[in-house]
Homo-oligomer: A and B are copies of this chain.
């Protein structure tokens, strides 16, 4: 059961409530390099990214946000640390959401200046607390990172609410998976604002994918999370792909190809690993939720293949092709990939 959260607007989308769980990412270009940033955002859009965040670290980056926004199709979030004036410029430039960590913005007056401008522009704020930068006072108070993250978020909420501001999204990311899970669980019980979930600084593509899949998996399975970001030290397009894979795995979204393929074992008499990688590569940009089973032998092959939209169960240097539960025909190993692709084309699926 998904946690009930307040719904807020961001650009032409909504976050929380019964809305789909949205996939976010963040550019890693210099934001002030408009063309590089726009190009990357276009790539992210193509991969299915629904909300994009950019780092705003200087005046020039803040000033080009209007131009970036005009050239892209998804809501634009400005990520601001330390300097409240950058937030004001970003807001003047039409951003769709502001991400701040009130802990490093400085005085109440500065936060107030941001909040008033945000209210005027009808833009939501994400309070993004992060284990790497949680203020010392929270750690000193509780000596417990989970509590420090949540206390910091609650204090920031209190400031925003005291200013009559309620269009809030929250995040309490840690680089530790259990800390992140516990922090979100604790926060989820205390407030009804939508939650943006992620494991921060999760690492390289495979390691970061594991941490993100475990951490977000546990939270999403418990119904916690309204938007997600997979943080990877890699091309951000990979973050979006992995994000959908996580949501797909729990049947929370459906985008792209799902390949059921066996790990191969002594029973396998076709070159399955190469074949599956080839199929995955050819269907990489397919957004249609297609389920393909590519199985090496008769133990589980026909069973899985029958459940899939399209499937193949391997035999001796050949494969038995299935589509929607029906056996089509036997084909030689070297023709399997082409026959599967033709079958997909027959079904008029755009790749």
Q: Which residues of A contact B (CB under 8 A)?
A: 26-32, 37, 54-57, 61, 79, 81, 104, 130-134, 175-178, 181, 200-211, 213-218, 221, 231-236, 239, 241-242, 245-246, 249-251, 258-268, 272-273, 276-277, 280, 293-295, 299-301, 303-304, 307
Query: How many Å from the CB of A294 to the closest CB on chain B?
Result: 8
- Is the Cβ of A262 less than 8 Å from the Cβ of B214? no
Q: Which listed residue (B28, B203, B221, B299) contacts A259, Cβ 8 A? A: B203
In the assembled complex, the Cα of A177 lies from the Cα of B251 at a distance in Å of 9
B263–A233 CB distance below 8 A? yes
CB of A293, distance to nearest CB on chain B (Å): 7
The answer to whether residues A81 and B204 also contact, given A131-B304, A177-B249, A273-B233 and a CB cut-off of 8 A, is no
Nearest CB in chain B: distance from A274 CB, A: 10
Per assembly, the copies of the chain total: 2
The complex places the Cα of A26 from the Cα of B260 at a distance, in Å, of 18
Other-chain contact of A239, B208, B232, B250, B263 (Cβ < 8 Å)? B263
* Chain B nearest Cβ from A341, distance in angstroms: 17
Residues on B with beta carbons closer than 8 Å to the beta carbon of A133: 299-300, 303
CB-defined contacts of A177 to chain B, threshold 8 Å = 249-250
Kindly identify which residue among B206, B231, B299 contacts A242, using a CB–CB cutoff of 8 Å: B206
A178-B250, A214-B217 known; 6 other A-B pairs, CB under 8 Å?
A: A28-B266, A175-B260, A206-B242, A206-B245, A210-B246, A233-B276
- Quote the shortest CB–CB distance from A133 to chain B (angstroms): 5
Partner of A299, one of B54, B81, B250: B81
In the bound complex, residues from chain B placing their C-beta under 8 Å from that of A130 are: 299-300
Cβ of A201 and Cβ of B233 under 8 Å apart? no
Q: A281 to chain B: closest CB distance in Å?
A: 10
Q: Is the CB of A249 within 8 A of B204?
A: no
- Let me know if A132 and B299 touch, CB within 8 A: yes
Q: Once the chains bind, are A304 and B175 in contact (CB under 8 Å)?
A: yes
Looking at the complex, which one of B26, B131, B201, B276 makes contact with A261 (CB distance below 8 Å)? B201
Contacts of A31 in B (CB 8 A): 266
Contact residues in B for A178 (Cβ distance below 8 Å): 250-251
A177→B236 CA distance, assembly (Å): 25
**Across the two chains, which residue of chain B brings its CB closest to A37?**
B266
Is there an interface contact between A265 and B210, defined as CB atoms closer than 8 Å? no
* Bound Cα distance A131, B300 (Å): 8
A280-B233 Cα distance, complex, nearest whole Å: 12
Are A218's CB and B215's CB within 8 A?
A: no
Q: When the two chains form their complex, are residues A221 and B181 in contact, meaning their CB atoms are under 8 A apart?
A: yes
Chain B residue nearest in CB terms to A173: B300
Task: Give 3 nearest A-B pairs by CB, closest first.
Answer: A132-B300, A214-B217, A213-B213
Q: Contact: B300 with A29, CB < 8 Å?
A: no
A262: chain B residues at CB < 8 Å are 200-201, 231, 233
- 12 CB contacts below 8 A, A to B, read A28-B265, A81-B299, A132-B303, A132-B304, A133-B299, A175-B293, A202-B263, A204-B277, A209-B210, A211-B245, A234-B263, A234-B273
Contacts of A263 in B (CB 8 A): 26, 28, 201-202, 231-234, 236, 239
Residues of B within 8 A of A29 (CB): 266
Question: With A and B bound together, what is the CA distance between A37 and B265 in angstroms?
Answer: 11
In the complex, A133→B158 CA distance in Å? 55
